[in-house]
Amino acid sequence: MPAASAGEMTTVISIENVSKSYGKHPALKSVSLEIGAGEIHGLIGENGSGKSTLLNILCGHPVIRETGGYSGAVQMDGKNVRIPSPRVAIESGIGMVHQEFVLLPDFTVAQNIALGRENLVPVTHRILPRGLALIDTANDRKRAIAALKELKTEVDAAAYPADLPINLNQYVEIARETCRHDLKVLILDEPTATLGKKEAESLLDFFRCLARQGMAIIFVSHRLEEITYICDRITVLRDGEVAARFDRRKGRYDTGSIVHAMLGRTIQVPSSRKTIDRNQIIMEFRNWKVEMPGETITGLDLGVKEGEIIGITGLPGHGKTAIGYGLAGMFATSGSVSVAGRELDTSNPYSAVANNVFLLPDDRRNAGLMLERSITENIVFHANRHRNKFLSRRLGRFGFIDWTSARKYAEECVQAYDIRCKSVNQPVGLLSGGNQQKVCLARMISLEASVLVVSEPTRGIDIGAKQIILQALLEANRKTGTSIICISSELGDLKQICDRIAVVHEGSVRCELSPTADDAEFIAAFTGEESSVQD
């Protein structure tokens, strides 16, 4: 389906010469763009290019006000607006689907979707102030169900986000915004990052329908195939400035030119894999089950060979996400998992750690980082606690951290992984998503684990950061002999670094394929058509 033409559009939101600095560090430098009614406008750039800062300005994030505000102008329907808070953004007709979810875990799906716009029981609304009126929960539930139905997904409106897999929470985030009747501008920050290919395609078609109805959409994604598929125009940011603009009306998009505009450099593809001993098993799953809602594992049988990188992939909802969380003891398990001949107690989250097995989770903000702590603290925390590294006095867990050596190591990681920051003392919560992911990886690699389980390590990050992370995994595997289980929806990434790839279908390993196998073989395995096993 061809993208809708922007044509002679009516401008809905205009950004004129917007600049923003954090102290002496400029994040945006005179950025200008406009989005018209019915247009899907792509906003892309490396992590740290200024995208998040611009989106924070538009959605009224408090960090903008707390750090001195911004200069330049934002106009809605031709009128200047200042957006000091999320409430003002909402009242101005701006809605945002965040890459890092902002759902309330103790509220149901329906309550999250209706939050701030609840239906009230008419009688109580007429006789009581709004704050005391009773909420019409039945109508809120109906509205939530209708909004989710438009997205062609089945999510229980009575469920809690904490009990849902991350891909279903993505739909809840989107439904919360798209059910608004006053919405003029919809900002989508990596809306398909947690979804499989078919789910993503369906969602992109839904966004096109919204655009045809006159919605102005800002679409942020690191998946260039989606950007070029859905967007009418593209603005590329690099180092806080507009590096390039592309317009579908002027011809087909040139992906190579877009990548060059984003990075300003040539991409280095991770070097080839080494030959490994394919006989020694270090970790083995036997009829292992995980009761994770929406991602249940019904019986996993898999051996992980010493010194290999094994990829695990599959469609959302078929169980691959549950592997890491099951090992961390977050959901009920049965069956057995052994490491170097010792069986793990997967009901105990410390059992894996005690056996030198560590997890890099897919939810980096809520489960992978200490957002208020510095880059240094985040990088050395696990190595200090579990390996007695960076100690000034070797007194076990009661030793003091040698901050000189800790900061030196953190600075080496910043250099090695190209972590974009002001200093290693900067709080991790102020970094962009890709740089946060690099910090997570640096912390895990410092452990020199026997087995490292990484879940969606390249989700929602730009192409440059992605290659750095893939190369870092290869280097950790080579230098320390760490066996790596890489769980990912990004098949292309797995093909670059893995010795073999297991496809999970309906809660178990359907087959194993070589990274050189044709995509058609993987597609057949995803859908359950392939049953053979290849070593």
Residue 473 tokens read as: 């995994």
Between strands 333-339 and 241-247, the pairing is: unpaired
Looking at residue 394, what is its pLDDT? 53
**What is the b/e burial string over 267-290, where b = at least 16 CB atoms within 10 angstroms of the residue's CB?**
eeebeebeebeeeebbbbbeebbb
Which pTM does this prediction carry?
0.66
CA distance 448 to 104: 35
The average pLDDT across 315-337 equals 89
Q: Which residues have CB under 8 Å from 285's CB, separation 6+? A: 300, 301, 302, 303, 335, 336, 337
Looking at residue 1, what is its pLDDT? 34
399 has a pLDDT exceeding 70: no
Looking at residue 479, what is its pLDDT? 83
Instruction: Find residue 342's DSSP bridge partners.
Output: 339
Looking at residue 232, what is its pLDDT? 95
Looking at residue 5, what is its pLDDT? 43
The average pLDDT across 73-82 equals 93
Residue 235 tokens read as: 């603005």
Share of the chain above pLDDT 90, in %: 45
DSSP per-residue letters across 113-131: HHTTS--B-HHHHHHS-TT
Around Cβ 38, how many Cβ atoms within 10 Å? 21
The average pLDDT across 6-21 equals 85
174 has a pLDDT exceeding 70: yes
DSSP 503: E
Residue pair 378/428 in contact (Cβ under 8 Å)? The answer is yes
115 has a pLDDT exceeding 90: no
| Chain segment 137-172, per-residue pLDDT in tens | 888 899 999 999 999 888 899 999 888 887 888 999
121 has a pLDDT exceeding 60: yes
Q: Mean pLDDT over all residues of the chain? A: 86
E-strand spans in 119-240?
A: 185-189, 216-220, 233-238
Share of the chain above pLDDT 70, in %: 90
Reported as a pLDDT band with limits 50, 70 and 90, residue 101 is confident
The average pLDDT across 76-100 equals 91
Q: Please, what is the Cα angle at 409 between 406 and 415, to 5 degrees? A: 140
| Chain segment 229-265, per-residue pLDDT in tens | 999 999 999 889 999 999 998 888 888 888 888 877 6
Reported as a pLDDT band with limits 50, 70 and 90, residue 483 is very high
Looking at residue 130, what is its pLDDT? 64
Residue pair 313/498 in contact (Cβ under 8 Å)? The answer is no
474 has a pLDDT exceeding 70: yes
184 has a pLDDT exceeding 90: yes
For residue 67, report the phi and psi dihedrals to the nearest 5 degrees.
-110, 25
| Chain segment 279-291, per-residue pLDDT in tens | 789 999 999 999 9
The average pLDDT across 429-448 equals 85
532 has a pLDDT exceeding 60: no
Tell which phi-psi region holds residue 396, choosing left (phi > 0), alpha (psi between -120 and 50) or beta. Answer: left
CA distance 324 to 301: 15
Residue pair 269/497 in contact (Cβ under 8 Å)? The answer is no
Amino acid at 358: F
Looking at residue 123, what is its pLDDT? 66
CA distance 420 to 417: 9
